[in-house]
Amino acid sequence: MAGPQDHFAPGNPEHYDLYVDESFYRFWGLDDPNGNFCYLIYGLPTSQISTLTVSHAELLRTFQNLVVTKLREPAPPELKSGLFRRFPFAERRRLALQMRNILHITNSFVIGEFQEVRGFVLESIRSDVALTGGAELPQNWQELYDERRDQLAKTVREEQPDSRQSCRGCFLSLQLLQQIT
């Protein structure tokens, strides 16, 4: 398999535009362990905006035609994941390859992350166990899970920033940059 595309052209560094979208399902109450949260960043060199604009217009036309012909619905004003998912696979495949080509010719990159409620809560418990020198989640992890889930749900409701967690987030994210470079 070929390695990941080098998204950074040699020469002078450029300005980038980052487009952020997130998607969640039964996440915020933290009641459903299988609820999930996903985010995605699309990174585009600003110098490529005109190329993207032209290519996107073509992609959108194809998309709109498919909505009309395959889904029998009015043409939407924009690309939407919910509609994309409803296309037959052959059409989705064709659109995805067209989109991949756009990302390729514009030297774009993508960053994505996914987590379920269960992992989100357990990650927090693991951090605490590690801080006390433990090497294993305790046998009563389910009790701890329930307690921590309630605490986190309360925190989410109240929007209280947690500086320790923020630092952990910064540190973990550093790996994304430096794992291969």
Which 140-159 positions form the footprint of other proteins (CB under 8 A)? Answer: 141, 156, 159
The residue among 125, 104, 4, 124 whose CA lies nearest residue 48 is 104
Out of 65, 69, 70, 134, the only residue in the binding site for other proteins (CB under 8 A) is 134
Distance CA 151, CA 118 (A): 14
CB of 72 to other proteins, least distance (A): 21
HSE value, Cβ hemisphere, 13 Å, CA-based, for 20: 2
Helix (H, G, I), strand (E, B) or coil at 6: coil
CB of 69 to other proteins, least distance (A): 19
Q: Which residue has the tokens 């994505």?
A: 112
CB of 146 to other proteins, least distance (A): 15
66 binds other proteins (CB under 8 A): no
Q: Which residue has the tokens 């052209």?
A: 9
Burial of 114 from C-beta contacts in 10 A (0-12 / 13-18 / 19+)? exposed
Binding-site string for other proteins from residue 26 to residue 65, where x marks contact by CB under 8 A and - marks none:
--x-------xxxxxxxxx-------xx--x---x-----
* Closer CB to other proteins, 23 or 69, in the complex: 23
* Closer CB to other proteins, 1 or 72, in the complex: 1
* Closer CB to other proteins, 53 or 72, in the complex: 53
Out of 23, 65, 69, 142, the only residue in the binding site for other proteins (CB under 8 A) is 23
CB of 122 to other proteins, least distance (A): 3
**Using CA of residue 29, residue 30, residue 32, residue 37, what is the dihedral sign?**
positive
* Closer CB to other proteins, 71 or 174, in the complex: 174
The residues, ordered by sequence, that sit 6+ positions from 130 with a Cβ below 8 Å of its Cβ are none
Distance CA 153, CA 28 (A): 7
Residues numbered 74-113 forming contacts with other proteins, rule: CB under 8 A: 77-82, 84-85, 89, 92-93, 96-97, 99-100, 102-104, 108-113
